[in-house]
């Protein structure tokens, strides 16, 4: 079995043999690559600073971001708000092998160590109903997290050595490497989203929120892509999402088809019941009083915030954003760093 002294620094140093390789060979491979990998990571780390480094100058934005699903995409079991609720013992897998818990809004999935690599367990925990979903992921032993998921669950993923800089979707996932920007205190050394062509702005989101594979065919995400790049050079193989029809999915491998899928997924944000992502098995089940297929803004807020009954009697009960308004930039555009950014007519 691979020594945990090598595997534990997952968030700073990761290089693993294929899943289910022989334990002895996996350990030997890890040890032999360790020195060279550290040298590569020194250069990679010199490009990235990590989100905490942004906090010094952008404290208000940082405080907003750390509450978002992006920031909470990937956490250790000990970091969960629900750590006393999730019955890890029912995963039927050694608890000390659970490396990371994915998701923070609807469901949790669990990344575990297996023979020198990482896989996503088949069991899915419904956060709100506090129960295991009736899922049956028969191919879970081939759900190679590093090759199929890690690029969108982390920041600064490097396909050359299967490492990443930060767990979760941090500042540099959307703004690009920021170490030089921080060192020189100059906006010339960071990717400016507001200066981008709108098409390239949307590519940042589409790099993770649409389907496909990288140009090598090895990764099920746009490996090597950085904000500001042309996504078309890194991502292809678009497949339809649950609910897409020939009206919004043409299958012609065009950027326009990817844009149609991204528009479709945004429309699913307020879906009350159903599967929004077949790959991650992101399932939700809420009953609306009107029987509507979609949640209202207030109903969506209440999927997380369950303290409505604790509000003063004089507080408005039909519009959360009367009091909890999304932050707005000086240009009157909503701040995407604020998790309420979509809640404005």
How does the average pLDDT of the chain come out, rounded? 80
* Contact partners, residue 288, CB within 8 Å, separation at least 6: 272, 294, 295, 296, 299
Structural domain harbouring 7? 1-190
Residue 331, pLDDT score:
63
Q: Is residue 39 part of a domain?
A: yes
Q: Is residue 310 part of a domain?
A: no
pLDDT tens string 221-245: 999 999 999 999 999 999 998 889 9
C-alpha 80/C-alpha 101 separation (Å) is 8
Q: Is residue 341 part of a domain?
A: no
Q: Is residue 43 part of a domain?
A: yes
Q: Is residue 230 part of a domain?
A: no
Query: For the chain, what percent of residues have pLDDT higher than 90?
Result: 45
Maximum mean pLDDT: which of 31-35, 67-71, 98-102:
98-102
Task: Give the number of domains in the chain.
Answer: 1
Q: Is residue 226 part of a domain?
A: no
Q: Is residue 86 part of a domain?
A: yes
Residue 24, pLDDT score:
40
Q: Is residue 20 part of a domain?
A: yes
Angle at 219 between CA 102 and CA 151, to 5 degrees: 40
């Amino acid at each position: 079995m691979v020594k945990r002294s090598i595997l534990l620094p997952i968030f700073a140093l990761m290089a693993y043999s294929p899943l289910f390789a022989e334990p002895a060979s996996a350990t030997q491979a890890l040890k032999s690559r360790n020195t060279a990998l550290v040298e590569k990571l020194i250069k990679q780390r010199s490009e990235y600073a990590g989100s905490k480094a942004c906090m010094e100058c952008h404290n208000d934005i940082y405080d907003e971001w750390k509450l978002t699903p992006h920031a909470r995409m990937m956490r250790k079991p000990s970091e969960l708000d629900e750590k006393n609720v999730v019955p890890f013992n029912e995963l039927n897998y050694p608890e000390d092998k659970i490396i990371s818990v994915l998701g923070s809004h609807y469901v949790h999935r669990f990344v575990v160590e297996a023979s020198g690599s990482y896989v996503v367990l088949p069991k899915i925990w419904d956060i709100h109903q506090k129960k295991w979903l009736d899922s049956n992921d028969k191919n879970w032993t081939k759900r190679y997290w590093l090759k199929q998921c890690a690029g969108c669950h982390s920041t600064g993923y490097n396909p050359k050595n299967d490492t990443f800089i930060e767990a979760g979707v941090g500042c540099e996932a959307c703004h690009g490497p920021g170490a030089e920007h921080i060192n020189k205190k100059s906006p010339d050394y960071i990717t400016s989203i507001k200066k981008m062509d709108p098409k390239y702005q949307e590519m940042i989101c589409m790099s993770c929120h649409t389907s496909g594979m990288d140009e090598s065919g090895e990764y099920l995400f746009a490996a090597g892509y950085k904000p500001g790049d042309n996504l078309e050079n890194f991502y292809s193989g678009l497949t339809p999402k649950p609910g897409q029809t020939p009206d919004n999915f043409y299958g012609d491998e065009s950027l326009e088809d990817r844009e149609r899928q991204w528009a479709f997924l945004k429309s699913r944000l307020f879906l009350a019941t159903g599967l929004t992502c077949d790959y991650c098995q992101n399932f939700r089940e809420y009953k609306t009083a009107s029987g509507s297929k979609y949640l209202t803004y207030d109903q969506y807020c209440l999927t997380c915030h369950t303290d409505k009954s604790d509000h003063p009697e004089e507080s408005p009960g039909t519009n959360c954003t009367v009091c909890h308004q999304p932050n707005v930039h000086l240009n009157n555009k909503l701040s995407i760093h604020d998790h309420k950014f979509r809640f404005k007519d």
